[in-house]
Structure 1
């Protein structure tokens, strides 16, 4: 009853009527972003009779700041319209009711990767390999079509009903030229590449791959690779030899340890990029 009360208070009667006409029934809350709310809904597509579970991302344009509405939101819309890949969350529909903008998104039925790891602890080598391969496939496709994500983290990696990887949340994503650098500080510090933390103009593709390395470490070790209490400590840890927790050090595949160390090399020029990762012994 409380959930239904929340839903009613967020949507006006006009919103609810419009959603009903478009075939949507809002079922509950999924989460909240900086300027958005995400609801679970069922959707009967026009001309269809079967119900599909979807996520409705809703942005209230009245309360969102000008910088977000003029810069980040148009980028997110363009990126999501462009991306069509089995390992990326799909945009089905985009529409507006009064001041609210609605994204109808593919449903990630099994929650996010962080929840999954918290429930299970360090993942088996075979499962880490499957998930990491799917993530790399999705990210490589993005980079090939000229898009960088810039906020890759376990919370933004969803799992489908069949436990396939679905990369989500393109709020910081943007289209970028092959030789173009980014200057905007994006994402979470714990997953951020050293050059980004140091405020140096950075390549979005390289920053994305560093974040994939952090996610791989978390899957295998069920802990964070670096202390992130403050930026100074974080950068110091990134410079040091990658620490593997004693709880998993004895069981972790040596080839996997080698790959993680090479993806998260502090020195940009010797760091592994996607072609190196794909030809590495653990990945093949």
Structure 2
């Protein structure tokens, strides 16, 4: 079972906020705990993919609605050893635990607990935001989104990824299906770290993400680096949001790295997309560069002005 990929040993990461910070996650890291069936009820199937199936669920102690992801052991590509554990767990569990232990982020799905169940593999208990819909379905139902809303979604994703990278994790499968939208608040969260890995400065030579979101260097040489990969996928994502579909379907189109805009998109937005989709990895922006791009800053100023006008009208 463990011969597919290297088993990585995770070391404890010191919490920047201190051990007694009340905002720390209540993630259960005890090796002795009540069995899954006595704490949660598993419901209907919500969806399935290459790494497992996701079901609706409920925490019995308080009725909290959760999502339960089932991962079959024979489909796990990367394993990790957690502090205090003797048996390896899927890398996804190790990555989500690390993010939970440092307090989490509003734009990243939170893992509440995990279990190893004989005969079923691993069960991940995840938060399940109410009124949520993945961005793929959101765009399928509503079509291409106006740039102001696209910017709202996009900024949240980029800021969440900055947090993820700051804690030495790379997602490696950023796409519309892995982003959920709260249809009431229009807040978004990144989900599914099944393709994730520890962030490193050297190249990766394995990829379990989605090919139509992968960059030219992977198509041509089966090698890539974390940040250029992430930024390329962000360019594909932003194009998808403002045009209603992804820019590339075939390998030849990816290698050409020339998106053709099928809808009316502002020059500023086009320039950001083209920058993210630069053929050479070294020509692509960093996440900080993206956040300081004129299209991003212009939209932020408009949002701030609208908030000020709203507050003024409320006071009047």
TM-score range, shorter chain: 0.7 to 0.9
* Length-normalised TM-score, structure 2: 0.74
Tell me, yes or no, if the aligned pair for 2:215 and 2:254 is still in contact at 8 Å.
Answer: no
Residues 44-82 of structure 1 deviation map (CA, whole Å, 9 limit, x = unaligned): 34xxxx311110001233xx24x6364795321111101
Equivalence for 1:25 = 41
The structural deviation recorded for 1:201 is 2.6
Tell me, yes or no, if the aligned pair for 2:171 and 2:196 is still in contact at 8 Å.
Answer: yes
Tell me, yes or no, if the aligned pair for 1:185 and 1:199 is still in contact at 8 Å.
Answer: no
In 2, Cα distance between the equivalents of 1:224 and 1:37?
A: 25
Equivalence for 1:102 = 123
Once the two structures are superposed, the pairs formed by residues 83-232 of structure 1 within 5 Å of their partners are 83=99, 84-100=104-120, 101-109=122-130, 110-160=132-182, 162-177=185-200, 179-228=201-250, 231-232=251-252
Alignment partner for residue 77 of structure 2, among 68, 82, 90?
68
Runs of 4+ more than 6 Å apart: none
The structural deviation recorded for 1:37 is 1.6
The structural deviation recorded for 1:283 is 0.7
> How many residues are aligned here?
250
Equivalence for 1:81 = 97
The structural deviation recorded for 1:18 is 5.2
Point out where structure 1 has 5 or more consecutive residues left out of the alignment. Answer: 1-16
* Length-normalised TM-score, structure 1: 0.82
Taking only aligned residues, the RMSD between alpha carbons, in angstroms, comes to 2.1
The alignment status of 1:264 with 2:264, answered yes or no, reads no
Equivalence for 2:305 = none
In 2, Cα distance between the equivalents of 1:18 and 1:79?
A: 22
In 2, Cα distance between the equivalents of 1:75 and 1:180?
A: 19
SS at match of 2:193: coil
SS at match of 1:28: strand
Residues 131-182 of structure 1 deviation map (CA, whole Å, 9 limit, x = unaligned): 00000011111111111111111111112363311101111111123x2221
The alignment status of 1:255 with 2:268, answered yes or no, reads yes
SS at match of 2:293: coil
